[in-house]
Structure 1
Amino acid sequence: MKTTRPILAKSAQRGNSPLTLLNHTQQVKAAAEAIAAQLGYDVRLAGLGAALHDLGKAHPHFQAKIYGEELPLHEQFPHRHELSSLGFLPLFDRADWPALVDMVVAHHKSIRQDARERGILDLQRQGGPWIANHLLNWEDWSGDGLAVLAALQVPVTLRKVTLQEAEAALRYAVEHCRAQLRSPEWSAWRGVLMAADHFASALQHDTDKQLAGLFDKPNLAFFQNRAGDALYPLSQTSAADERPHTLVVAPTGAGKTDYLFRRCRGRVFYTLPFQASINAMFERVRQADTGGHVRLRHAMSKLVEGRTGRDVAEKLLQDKVGASVKILTPHQLAAVAFGLPGYEAVLLDVRGCDVILDEIHTYSDKAQAMVLAIVDVLVLANCRLHVGTATMPTALYDEVRRRLGGPEAVYEVRLSDEVLDEFNRHEVHKIARDQKRPEALATTVDALLRQAFTDNEKVLIICNTVVGAQAEFERLTQSFPAVKAMLLHSRFRRLDRADLEKKLTAEFDGQPGPCFVVSTQVVEVSLDISFDRMITEAAPLDALVQRFGRVNRRRSPETIGQLKPVHVIEPDRKTLPYNREVVLRSYAQLPDAALLPERDLQRCLDAVYPDLALANINTHLIWDNGELIEGALTNRCRSVLVEALEIETAACILADDRAEYVAEKTFWERRIELEIPISWRTIQFNKNRQHYERLDFGAAPFVVPQPLADYRRLGLQLLEPDSFL
């Protein structure tokens, strides 16, 4: 019997009232039409797809679930509401069916090889009465779908669709999807609907007012107006070349960021490798008053933006289409190369935009291969790519230029040797190890620090591993208890990490010494901090040059020509996480008690990296010479990216935070704040992993029984607690 209760699309969430199917469809329709209009697609067709996409939620199976009711045993079958929606296809012009099916059939699931085997072709292959199930009691509930179409005033002739017509429509969808598996083209229509659905689902009743200006170009006058400053030589270099792409090689402090923005003509995607550098760039762009939406994208971006006073709607928009400027990591663009869920929406969003790839040489061989694969797709999507780097081996430079189209398509910018000489600012000192007396290293380091603190210096100490940084911080705070000190690495709770980054710039960089900061590689790129001295473990030369860029960074007429010391410790027997041969070659290129000339860096880099060594990730890519390998309407699961890149995918929480993390009233943002991101390999090879409880919701974090006092001092320690003994 037909019920009179509201037909819902979404249950109550985060204090909001339940959302009716009509309200939700209205919001998605508005978003789809606005997105299609901005991106040059048929607005009428986008609106029809949005009107159709969720009508299957009127199915009694979906409504029982959303109302929290127990289903009869004979109705406990896999139900995909979007497949039920296809029963209404006969109401629409037959010529529109291909685009409508693209929009509806896969806006949640791949059409095949879905992780739970619930794509339309998965269900078809499995056999069974899946069509009958998705149209169960059609005569009773299809009228609710018609009522939604009537309220939306969709320009179709509303009539009762027979069960036989609905069944035929689903069979048409199956054949259409089979044909799409052979298509070399990606489905832009799937992207339009996914983008609109995600946008409206996040904002709900605020959708309409957030659509205004969604795809506006930024006002980059701030960067244009800074041209001509003699302190920053790139500001005196013309950015007016008509070639679409850019390759800029220049030292830290030469004005690369401003120059890259000056090369942009449209909406901007600015990519950086590390979270800390992304946060800093976000603040920099906001201060530039570019207008329009400015978005921040990484795992904890909502937390960072939440501390800036941005409103809730702005935070909800961060991973949605649109925005004048987006600051993100290349991993947020990886979907377009790997075919991850939603890649079509990402392609629609970035197509034709300016994409800045900053410091791409800093990635591992696998991540670097991913970035180059992204470059290939973005070139196909008519993006203008602007690559900036302080240190890039010639082999990698040549490969990037080739993929961008060669000299005919790439504007190449380098500084002259005479200008590079003005950026000489580091005197390198090597610190030898005594393998017979390892304690001698600590004695040498302490002597350097003692003199530095006497001279009121700020010192940055960089270790290659978190464990090493923790041990050195403990040792140094005992040796110098009266000196202001800080430890910074990746294994802090996300809420603490954001505060540490602010503290680094405000209390250590922003105030006079003496002080010291012990860190890992997280400070290497784009953090605008300037210390007086550095002591660092040996690392690959490009990483070392980035580290050196945190010393004597600020340029002024008085500082040009001044040299500050950087001390590099001789490589130990183990050089994790780096390749030992690369570290040894890098250390050999360094002078001792002498200037490291900027004009010599390219020669040194090429000696360390004579060849381009990229990991082979071809089996994970969905493109071959610009054509889809697996066809349209499909996607890979996210685990593919994890397997290919070994990026941070696991999370830990402290035992002291467990109760709050699992509490029903705890919002997901708070859970993210409590999480400590680590690489899966780190936890996978930890001998105590079996002792850590793993929660089965949220990010499925491992619970580490580390005392809170120890954590506050050192960050997460994956060591063996006494309770394991």
Structure 2
Amino acid sequence: MAALWGKSAGKAGGSANLLLSHMLDTAAVAEAMWDRYLPQAMRWRLDAVAGDPGKGRRLFAWLCGIHDCGKATPAFQCLDAAGEAAVRRAGLSWDKYAVKGTRWRHDRAGGRILRGLLDGAGWCEEQVSWVWPLVAGHHGVFPTLGQLRPRKEDLQGKGESWKLAQRALVEVFSREVGFWGESPLAGVEPIVVPSRAVQLQLSGFVVMADWIASDERHFTGVSDLAGVSMERARSRAEAAWGRLGLRGGWGALRMPGPEAFGDRFGHGARPSQEMVLDVVRRMDGAGLVIVEAPMGEGKTKTALAAAELLAARCGADGVFVGMPTQATADPMFSQVRSWLGKVEDGVDGQVALLHGKRMFNTEWRALLEGAGEWGQDADDPFSSVGEDEYGLSSHCVDSCQDAERRAPAEWFLGRRRGLLSPFAVGTIDQLLYAATRTKHVMLRMAGLGGKVVVLDEIHAADVYMSQFLLEALWWLGQARVPVVLLSATLPPEQRRRLAAAYVAGMQSAEDHEGLDLAEPQGYPSVTAVWLGRDGIPTVVVESAKSWRDDLRVRVEVLDEPPASGTGAAAHTDAGPQDTAVVDYLKERLVDGGCVLVIRNTVARAQSTFEALREEFGCDVRLLHGRLHAGHRADRTREILDLLGPPTNGTRRPDRLIVVATQLAEQSFDVDADLLITDLAPVDLLLQRIGRLHRHDGVTRPRRLARPTVVVTGVRFDNDRAPRILRASELIYGRYLLLRTAAEVQRAAVADGGGWSIPGQVPELVARIYGTGPVVPEGWAEAEDQARSDWEEEQAGRRADAARFVLTRAGEHGAQTLEGLHFGAHSRVEDGLLEELVRDGDRSVEVVLVRRVGSGLEAVTGRRLGPNGEVAVETLDDVLAGTVRLPAGWTEAAEKELGPLAGWRDHPWLRHSLALVLDEHGCAVLGEARLRYDDRLGLVVSGGRPRR
């Protein structure tokens, strides 16, 4: 034992670190985690597992430190020549020819060794069965029991001497951690088997402790056994913890009083907000809360106030807020920081922004200024470059260099670690990743385990993404993680599935199809589910009156001429039909007014913009996802200033027409006098209608005094099924569009016309997503065919997702983590996590630069170096040129484009694809001609996209 090494001199600061020393270092880090980081809820659970409130901390330290016991084998000890020689001199030997060239992973070796030792110490099988996978899986993948066996017994070490050394290592380690008695290992045995979800979270904390203790900058080698002790390890761990600047979140949060809402948000709670908070106060413990309310009702504030209540009751140490897109995550980041600053001083700087393009967020970058954040961003597929096997990065600097650091510790900002930050805001993808059968998934689940999880706009998750969302809810339910879900428009069946998944997790069941979930009788509404003291689900469904009166929205249909031509024009349905919109607006805008036009494709938006621009001149704006980052940010900011809440001080224009794509569908706080929109499924159509007459106190032109939505992209043909834009059908499917079209037609021709919004929202969504008859008799055959196609597609997408979800079918009842990763598809190993949880056509972003004469410049006109070199003050100008290509050109971009020569050593640009435009803003990619127009954005013509 005195010679067994754990870290070679090359990985321990120049002197080998004995195996016992590294194990004690890890245990000491675990103690620091327990005292200063671990959520109160996890401490409660581990105390229960240990059977004694005073024993949970020791058990946690032991579980973390024991992880590397598998290094006490010839398979590992032969990997370093100097270490091997020392071990042989100490009297431990092996047949080098039997061991040479045959690898046996030390994590799996540890699982095998520990199983034998625990069994010999008298542990019962059910306790042995959940502990050994924590060791065998600490490098990110949980093997099956059969995978622990080495190909050759020599790898584990033959003879009594090796068995004695392995037993002595584990027993001495156990005594140092604090387990005494005649048989220290027997004294470690837990009393209660934790749930599988808690095991997974615990495994993540084991990995976290190991990674911190493996940092040679803070844990240099100790090669003399006389210098190894738990006391010295604790001193090293304390120093490392301080230098890394690691910290937890709220700790023990006090239960907020009824005045808290006003203190946090500057005004009293509305009736719907008070309804939700009242229900949350009545919950016995962790549970699922689903809030459904119209746009502008204040759901986000409700969720944050509810999160504070749930955290105080359930011992949660922080919060994760997940948004549907990066664009919606950025403003939420600011809102969460503001709220946290009012909950507790100093925690607003501990919020991590988690999405792949956070470097574009000026608030995030300002927080990190001078702090030396790693070059790669959260879950970037290339971010493992420069990291070692413990996730450590050569770019990382100690947080102590910035004593007043206003951002999470550097350590939390590396790949896979973002959710371990005490507070986090990001895309919903961050949560979905935690439900995938991917390497180191335990780190993500550990990060979620001590938080309240808030997910906004959950209706945006399609059937493929929903499989990961349901899986995540199952695990969060079993882990007793409080979850708050927000939606403006949620189909009843989707609500039931979400609640059933969480309840199934709480009861460790495969599913909970029999969950009795009543429909809300009003809108806004709250649905809350938790386990009562008797273990039976308690369900509360309540509703309240909206703070605003219903709007009677008139529904009209604008008949457009069909698209003409072939090729790209026909595919995008762009062309002469725009004249119908122009003529309509010429009549309606005689007295002025502000109009939002939403098109379902970029090409259609560009075409409509050009037609309107010709008629209305500079009163027309264009916003879509194919603008480069600089233009998109500037236009979004301008539109929000012009059409945002009237309290922002900006004068509302007399006339303005905004043409946009689905970007205007969610988290876009603008007020339009009139809405023109392509047909979309009813829930999304209602989301768009939420931009109509949104704000009070706005003076509107007489002709636009009544809120009106004009639906385009559909042409009714007497009693036959309508013609719907092919592009819309490709995006949303024909089935839901047909049913929505029937509802639109009915509303457009009804006496008095229209819908009562938001009061009628639940009814409309339930009807379209239900199975009852909706379409006219003459459409029935078309609807039947569309439904058949839709169901086949939905089933296929569910099956595609099933290959990658964390738990294989039929295994939710498993009791341990053994074999959790068995059967993982190779696709989960390539780092492209966004592709894993979103099944749309893959697309890539490129950075536009212009060639002017013999030089290069950014899209802003700032000059770059001869090979594209970027100065510090020029970086924002270069990043402003980022734009996403249409999905069909991804393969060509990855084949033909790469970083500029001057970017290859830049931490943020070295993996960026540069698209060099000529002086006219044009470039060729594959068979396509690309042109960037400062008004239209990226325009693609010619060639045929590959799909």
Indicate conservation of the 8 Å contact 2:58/2:177, yes or no.
Answer: no
Matches of 1:355 and 1:715, distance apart in 2: 37
CA distance 1:6–1:342, change in 2 (3 Å):
closer
Query: Deviation string for 1:92-118 (max 9, x for gaps)?
Result: 9986998886455433342559xxxxx
2:293 is aligned with 1:246: no
How far off is 1:539 after superposition?
A: 0.8
Indicate conservation of the 8 Å contact 1:300/1:672, yes or no.
Answer: no
Partner of 1:627: 813
How far off is 1:583 after superposition?
A: 1.4
Matches of 1:601 and 1:517, distance apart in 2: 25
1:236-635 aligned at under 5 Å gives the runs 236-237=274-275, 239-241=277-279, 242-243=282-283, 244-264=287-307, 265-266=310-311, 267-288=318-339, 289=341, 290-291=343-344, 292=347, 293-304=350-361, 305-310=363-368, 312=373, 314=407, 316=410, 317=412, 319-323=417-421, 325-351=423-449, 353-405=451-503, 406=516, 409-416=538-545, 419=546, 422-424=549-551, 426-435=553-562, 441-450=577-586, 455=591, 457-483=593-619, 485-489=621-625, 491=626, 501-502=636-637, 504-506=639-641, 509=644, 511=650, 512-513=652-653, 514-555=655-696, 563-571=706-714, 572-574=724-726, 575=728, 576-590=730-744, 591-592=747-748, 594-598=753-757, 599-611=759-771, 615=795, 616-617=798-799, 618-621=802-805, 622=807, 624=810, 626-628=812-814, 631-632=817-818, 634-635=820-821
CA distance 1:248–1:83, change in 2 (3 Å):
closer
1:164-203 aligned at under 5 Å gives the runs 186-197=199-210
Find the residue that maps to 1:193 and give its secondary structure. Answer: helix
Query: Deviation string for 1:487-515 (max 9, x for gaps)?
Result: 231x4566776666545534664643344
CA distance 1:214–1:76, change in 2 (3 Å):
farther
Matches of 1:27 and 1:555, distance apart in 2: 61
Matches of 2:24 and 2:869, distance apart in 1: 31
Indicate conservation of the 8 Å contact 1:7/1:63, yes or no.
Answer: no
How far off is 1:392 after superposition?
A: 1.6
Partner of 2:272: 234
CA distance 1:400–1:112, change in 2 (3 Å):
closer
Structure-1-length-normalised TM-score: 0.72
CA distance 1:123–1:388, change in 2 (3 Å):
closer
Partner of 2:526: none
Indicate conservation of the 8 Å contact 1:466/1:520, yes or no.
Answer: yes
Query: Deviation string for 1:190-242 (max 9, x for gaps)?
Result: 21122345678899877436333335367877535479968943134362232
1:6-21 aligned at under 5 Å gives the runs 7-9=9-11
Query: Deviation string for 1:567-624 (max 9, x for gaps)?
Result: 2213344023111221132132123394421233223222321149664344443154
2:839 is aligned with 1:651: no
CA distance 1:522–1:644, change in 2 (3 Å):
same
The percent of aligned pairs where both chains have the same amino acid is 20
2:34 is aligned with 1:32: no
Query: Deviation string for 1:425-456 (max 9, x for gaps)?
Result: 64333211223888663223224555677655
How far off is 1:472 after superposition?
A: 3.6
Find the residue that maps to 2:352 and give its secondary structure. Answer: strand
Matches of 2:211 and 2:631, distance apart in 1: 30
Partner of 2:827: 639
Quick one: which amino acid aligns to residue 258 of structure 1? K
Indicate conservation of the 8 Å contact 2:459/2:490, yes or no.
Answer: yes
Quick one: which amino acid aligns to residue 580 of structure 2? T
Matches of 1:196 and 1:675, distance apart in 2: 38
Matches of 2:215 and 2:331, distance apart in 1: 26
Query: Deviation string for 1:543-565 (max 9, x for gaps)?
Result: 11112223322246999x96433
Indicate conservation of the 8 Å contact 1:214/1:322, yes or no.
Answer: no
Quick one: which amino acid aligns to residue 733 of structure 2? N
Where does structure 1 lack aligned partners over 5 or more consecutive residues? Answer: 12-17, 65-73, 114-119, 158-179
Find the residue that maps to 1:251 and give its secondary structure. Answer: coil
Largest Rg, 1 or 2? 2
Indicate conservation of the 8 Å contact 2:433/2:441, yes or no.
Answer: yes
How far off is 1:459 after superposition?
A: 3.1
Quick one: which amino acid aligns to residue 694 of structure 2? R
2:110 is aligned with 1:110: no
How far off is 1:335 after superposition?
A: 3.5
Matches of 2:870 and 2:104, distance apart in 1: 29
Partner of 2:527: none
Which sits farther off after the overlay, 296-305 or 21-30?
A: 21-30
CA distance 1:104–1:374, change in 2 (3 Å):
closer
Point out which structure has higher relative CO (alpha carbons under 8 A, 6+ apart).
1
Query: Deviation string for 1:70-94 (max 9, x for gaps)?
Result: xxxx99987968679999989x998
Indicate conservation of the 8 Å contact 2:849/2:914, yes or no.
Answer: no
Matches of 2:104 and 2:638, distance apart in 1: 50
Indicate conservation of the 8 Å contact 1:102/1:189, yes or no.
Answer: no
Where does structure 2 lack aligned partners over 5 or more consecutive residues? Answer: 47-55, 83-98, 180-192, 219-239, 312-317, 374-398, 400-406, 504-515, 518-536, 565-573, 715-723, 772-789, 857-863, 923-930
Indicate conservation of the 8 Å contact 1:648/1:678, yes or no.
Answer: no
Quick one: which amino acid aligns to residue 259 of structure 1? T
Quick one: which amino acid aligns to residue 412 of structure 1? V
Matches of 2:815 and 2:889, distance apart in 1: 34
CA distance 1:86–1:262, change in 2 (3 Å):
closer
How far off is 1:263 after superposition?
A: 2.6
How far off is 1:535 after superposition?
A: 2.3
1:66-105 aligned at under 5 Å gives the runs 102-105=133-136
Indicate conservation of the 8 Å contact 1:199/1:321, yes or no.
Answer: no
Matches of 1:192 and 1:360, distance apart in 2: 29
Matches of 2:249 and 2:591, distance apart in 1: 52
